[in-house]
Structure 1
Amino acid sequence: MAATTVTDAGSVRIITEVIPATDPRAAQLASGSQAPARTSFQTQGFRRAHPKVLGTIHIFTGIVHICFGLILTLSEHSNPSLPVASGILFWLGILLLVSGSLLVESERRDSPALVKTCCVVSVGVVLGTLVATGIHGTAITRIVPGCEKPGLLQRRPEWCLNRESKMLSNSLDSILVILGLLEFCVAVAVLAFGYDTVRQHTYSQLVREAGIPGNPWNAEPPLPSSEGPPQSGRSRVPP
């Protein structure tokens, strides 16, 4: 038989029932009383953007930029094109690798400071992709260096008459422009979700510091009312 005790605390009546360990209800109460692990929601909004996937895209495109930069630099060392001479392929590729690594790390760590860092680097990616798109677009419309209109006693090099080299160069620049647009979209998505997360985190800090009434962190449990019929509650605790 289960022992039952009744305790009156003001207008609240507490009924406690002691259940033996052999009772099947004891196992159910024990499993239900375990508190779930506390999960931090500081960067939950940012994780909805799947930063690991976005970071992987940045890392992949960064490696592609660096590889293209090495190949074009070696092939055009004597007469570099505008993208090679500007070094856009290397510094944008490094920036993408840094941004991608931070985004992948933000998937593992719940850190608002890391989210802010991702937003700052994403601003650099946005500006870098815009500059890179302009440089590649100029290279597509520009005459190959060394093939400008010759003087009176000068002749164009024979390789200038080969249109296949210009078509190949334009194709590479077009591919890099498409990759730049992809990187731009990814960076804008990171900024959108990151800004919303940082704004909510900042607002939560202000509310906690100010102690505004109604804040769930500072809220106190309501006192029992002295009016009205007494309430009854039953709790079952295994011995």
Structure 2
Amino acid sequence: MAATTVTDTGGVRIITEVISATDPRAAQLTAGSTTSPPTASSFRVRGFRRAQPKMLGTIHIFTGIIHICFGIILTASEHEAPSLPVASGILFWLGVLLLLSGSLLVESDKRENILLVKTCCVVNVGVILSTLVATLIHTTAIARDTPGCEATTPHGMKPEWCFNPKNKKLSNGLDSILVIFNLLEFCVAVAAVTFGYDAIKQQNYTRMTL
């Protein structure tokens, strides 16, 4: 049976209850006391999760797969006269980088690891720079003539597809779509880096336990 004492001190009443070891409540108190309080890094990771890293990572994975698929199709169709994006290989290495970034973002939503958040920031800085380069390459490809169809090439030496304007329109349409995807990837990477930087620089908080 629990013993209870009441003490009045300075207008404050203190009630003390002593619970025996056989009391069921003693096991509950013991279990509750062994639970470790949240660490400072867990609070910082929760701040990073406000950016919905799982959703951002899904976008990067989806667009990364699209880049790789486009890269395979265009490389196979333009093996004779590859366009600037195909020749640079940007569709493949940007796609791989997006898959890596997306996987890290999705994993950071599952694990409370501040080191994982820092890795996400580093990779997404690379994504930001890569999307800017990719946008420049695609816009340059749109402004240029189709490879092998330049104005300096003699009329008799131009391939047959040069005389079909629909081919250039199709190529420009694909580059325009990829530019839109690059802008989306850029925005996602900026959001990930912004929230990740805030989480890394956030002050450590110590929770008081009684």
Q: TM-score, normalised by structure 2?
A: 0.82
Letter in 2 for 1:136: H
Does the C-alpha gap of structure 1 residues 37 and 216 become closer, same or farther in structure 2, counting only changes over 3 Å?
A: closer
- Per-residue Cα deviation, 1:154-174 (whole angstroms, up to 9, x for no partner): 442221110111111111000
Say if 1:150 and 1:156, in contact at 8 Å, map to a contact too.
no
Say if 1:65 and 1:90, in contact at 8 Å, map to a contact too.
yes
Match of 2:148 in 1: 146
Runs (5+) with no aligned partner, structure 2? none
Quote the Cα distance in structure 2 between the aligned partners of 1:61 and 1:106.
19
Quote the Cα distance in structure 1 between the aligned partners of 2:64 and 2:136.
18
Which has the higher Rg, Structure 1 or Structure 2?
Answer: 1
- Per-residue Cα deviation, 1:161-204 (whole angstroms, up to 9, x for no partner): 1011111111100000000000000000001100000001xx42
Match of 2:92 in 1: 90
Q: How does 1:158-173 map to 2 (within 5 A)?
A: 158-173=160-175
Does the C-alpha gap of structure 1 residues 18 and 88 become closer, same or farther in structure 2, counting only changes over 3 Å?
A: closer
Following superposition, the deviation at residue 5 of structure 1 comes to: 2.7
1:15 has 2:34 as partner: no
Letter in 1 for 2:137: I
Say if 1:63 and 1:97, in contact at 8 Å, map to a contact too.
yes
Q: TM-score, normalised by structure 1?
A: 0.72
Following superposition, the deviation at residue 67 of structure 1 comes to: 0.2
Letter in 2 for 1:124: G
1:5 has 2:19 as partner: no
Instruction: Report the count of equivalent residues.
Output: 199
Say if 1:42 and 1:111, in contact at 8 Å, map to a contact too.
no
Runs (5+) with no aligned partner, structure 1? 20-25, 205-214, 222-239
Quote the Cα distance in structure 2 between the aligned partners of 1:61 and 1:153.
39
Q: With CA pairs under 8 Å and 6+ residues apart, which has the higher RCO, 1 or 2?
A: 1
Quote the Cα distance in structure 2 between the aligned partners of 1:175 and 1:135.
13
Say if 1:7 and 1:15, in contact at 8 Å, map to a contact too.
yes
Say if 1:59 and 1:100, in contact at 8 Å, map to a contact too.
yes
Say if 1:147 and 1:160, in contact at 8 Å, map to a contact too.
yes
Does the C-alpha gap of structure 1 residues 63 and 10 become closer, same or farther in structure 2, counting only changes over 3 Å?
A: same
Q: How does 1:167-206 map to 2 (within 5 A)?
A: 167-200=169-202, 203-204=203-204
Paired residue secondary structure (1:77): coil
- Per-residue Cα deviation, 1:36-72 (whole angstroms, up to 9, x for no partner): 8844313111000000000000000000000000000
Match of 1:114 in 2: 116
Quote the Cα distance in structure 2 between the aligned partners of 1:85 and 1:216.
54
Quote the Cα distance in structure 2 between the aligned partners of 1:220 and 1:110.
21
Letter in 1 for 2:95: G
Letter in 2 for 1:89: L
Quote the Cα distance in structure 2 between the aligned partners of 1:115 and 1:81.
37
Identity %: 65
